[in-house]
Copies of this chain bind each other. A is one copy, B any other.
Amino acid sequence: MSATPHPHPEDGPIAKTPRRSKRRIATEEKLIQAVGALLREGGVDALGVNAVDREAGVDKVLIYRYFDGLEGLLTRYSESVDFWPSIDEILGPDREVLADPDPQRVAGRIMANYARAIRSRPVTVQLLAWECNERNALTIAVEDVRERWATQLNEEMLRAGLPLTPQFGVLAALFTSAIHYLAIRSRSIQRFGGVDVGSDAGWDAMIETMERAFGAFYPPDTPSSPS
């Protein structure tokens, strides 16, 4: 009682001692990891303040003290995880995919790599699904990242001298959409429109079809390669 606070009226330098850290960092990490865990197992509606602290084993009040609420925690989480594949993962470390002279094959490979990258990230798929119904710190973050990512990818392709027609872009957007949708749906259904979305074979067939479809937009001076 009678604990009169006592900010000295005269401390020279600003922000002298940050007065934080040690255990706190560990606790913050626990919270962030808990978000990932819930996102992985539970799903989307399981992610609440109470659920997160339960998972992390810490008190929920810390979520408010450290992150100023769930939104802040989600933002922090979004910065700490690689939702999105790197450009390297799509084009190869040395952009070897772009080295192929056949633009149709290039497009096919990009789609194949993209589909594989998405499918191998359950949390990303979860987020893509969440995006369909809600809009919060996490979905906004993933939107941001994706936009910058797409721009960067586009630049790389332009730099490589790939003949990018507007229709090429539209078709790529359509196939990207399809990949997102089928990755989402494949978690709860096995087939969609006769295609086996639960097996690699089904996805291989889709990729093959995509590649061939790209052929409709390039003059056939390069004969269709054998599959």
Contacts and interface: CB of A to CB of B under 8 A. Distances in A.
Given A131-B185, A170-B205, A213-B213, 13 more contacts: A45-B45, A131-B188, A132-B133, A132-B184, A170-B209, A173-B206, A174-B175, A174-B210, A175-B178, A176-B192, A176-B193, A178-B178, A212-B217
Contacts of A129: 132-133
Nearest to A44: B133
A193 B184 CA distance: 18
Number of copies: 2
A217 B143 CA distance: 34
Nearest to A218: B216
13 contacts: A43-B133, A44-B133, A45-B133, A129-B132, A143-B189, A150-B193, A169-B193, A170-B206, A173-B192, A173-B195, A177-B177, A177-B178, A177-B182
Contacts of A43: 133
Nearest to A130: B133
A122 interface: no
A103 to B, nearest CB: 14
Contact of A193 (B44, B132, B173, B193): B173
A147 to B, nearest CB: 9
B167 A177 contact: no
A198 interface: no
A109 interface: no
A212 to B, nearest CB: 5
A172 interface: yes
Contact of A195 (B170, B178, B195, B208): B170
Interface string A163-207: 000110111111111101110110011001111000000000110
